[in-house]
């Protein structure tokens, strides 16, 4: 079978399952197996696939047809221009979180060798990106899941980023440390949100998605616990779910009445990041 014939058949099969990106997914699988960039795929349309390549592609297609996200099938995702390994142990990095990462890098401007803490690190995408683009920063990343930390450590190694990883339930493993900047993309879906998740999102670890009955559990915990770990004049940045800004702002204002609190919008003009400065 030629490359073009496989892509056509795969895109048709995915389209019949309601996949809106059927042709793109099929093309990405081909590029992964052939080891080429997407821009080069058109030059390979008439190439015959080997039996081994067809077998690998058919396996990838079967997983995608079963509802597994394309990133899990390929085993990688991209964030801030960097490649990250991902599987069912961690959430897939999303563009929304790039707003949080860009805000973090802006906060670090003018600071020399700042200490940065990434809570709920998951795949390590935030910690690794900050360490990569600010190699002078002393970056520590925490997660309660040792499985997630295994993935994060691998991502740090593969991207050449110097990050310290700690297994920790919240701030418990941090002792008396303090940081110039704390960043966090916490679980923030509500119980109701979990009932209407897309099929692909259901493949991701639910403990990294659900933030209690109303989605605000982790904001309550962090607002009450983080002050001793934030250096004087330091800032904390939290990703927000759509429509959560007012409620989360109220939580932090109640816990930290002297703090400066504002929000930052993403490219869709959604309040995506809460910034707390002591």
**What is the predicted pLDDT for the residue at 199?**
85
Spans of the chain below 50 pLDDT: none
Give dist(CA 46, CA 14) in Å, integer. Answer: 22
Overall residue count recorded for the chain in this entry: 278
Q: Residue 115 and residue 33: Cα distance in Å, rounded?
A: 40
Report the pLDDT value the prediction gives residue 197, as an integer from 0 to 100.
Answer: 86
pLDDT reported for residue 6:
96
Q: What is the pLDDT at residue 198?
A: 86
* Domain 88-277: CATH class, spelled out: alpha beta
Please give the pLDDT value at position 243.
94
What is the structure's pLDDT at 244?
96
Q: What pLDDT sits at residue 185?
A: 97
19-73 pLDDT, tens per residue?
889 999 999 999 999 999 999 999 999 999 999 999 999 999 999 999 999 999 9
Three-class SS of the chain: CEHHHHHHHHHHHHHHCCCCCHHHHHHHHHHHHHCCCHHHHHHHCCCECCHHHHHHHHHHHHHHHCCCCHHHHHCEEEECCEEEECCCCCCCCCHHHHHHHHHHHHHCCCCCCCEEEEECCCCCHHHHHHHHHCCCCEEEEEECCHHHHHHHHHHHHHHCCCEEEEECCCCHHHCCCCEEEEEECCCCECHHHHHCCCCCHHHCCHHHCECCCCCCHHHHHHHHHCHHHEEEEEEEEEECCCCCHHHHHHHHHHHCCCCEEEEEECCCCCEEEEEEEC
pLDDT of residue 196: 85
pTM of the model: 0.92
pLDDT at residue 131, rounded to an integer: 98
Q: How far is CA 109 from each of CA 15, 31, 112, 132, 235, rounded to the nearest angstrom?
A: 46, 38, 8, 14, 13
């Amino acid at each position: 079978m030629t490359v073009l014939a496989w892509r056509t058949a795969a895109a048709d099969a995915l389209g019949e399952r309601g996949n809106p990106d059927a042709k793109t997914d099929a093309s990405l699988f081909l590029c992964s197996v052939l080891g080429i960039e997407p821009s080069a795929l058109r030059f390979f349309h008439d190439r015959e696939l080997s039996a081994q390549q067809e077998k690998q592609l058919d396996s990838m297609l079967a997983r995608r047809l079963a509802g597994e996200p394309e990133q899990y099938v390929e085993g990688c995702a991209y964030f801030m221009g960097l490649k990250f390994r991902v599987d069912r142990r961690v959430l897939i990095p999303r563009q929304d979180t790039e707003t949080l990462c860009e805000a973090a890098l802006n906060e670090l401007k003018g600071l020399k060798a700042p200490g940065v803490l990434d809570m709920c690190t998951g795949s390590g995408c935030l910690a690794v990106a900050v360490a990569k683009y600010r190699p002078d920063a002393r970056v520590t990343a925490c997660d309660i899941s040792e499985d997630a930390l295994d993935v994060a450590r691998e991502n740090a190694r593969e991207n050449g980023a110097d990050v310290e990883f700690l297994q920790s339930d919240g701030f418990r493993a941090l002792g008396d440390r303090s940081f110039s900047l704390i960043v966090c993309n916490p679980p923030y879906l509500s119980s109701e949100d979990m009932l209407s998740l897309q099929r692909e999102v259901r493949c991701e670890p639910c403990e990294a998605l659900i933030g209690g009955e109303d989605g605000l559990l982790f904001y309550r915990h962090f607002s009450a616990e983080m002050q001793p770990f934030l250096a004087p004049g330091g800032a904390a940045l939290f990703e927000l779910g759509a429509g959560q800004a007012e409620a989360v702002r109220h939580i932090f204002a109640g816990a930290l009445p002297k703090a400066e609190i504002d929000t930052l919008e993403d490219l869709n003009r959604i309040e995506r990041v809460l910034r707390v400065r002591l």
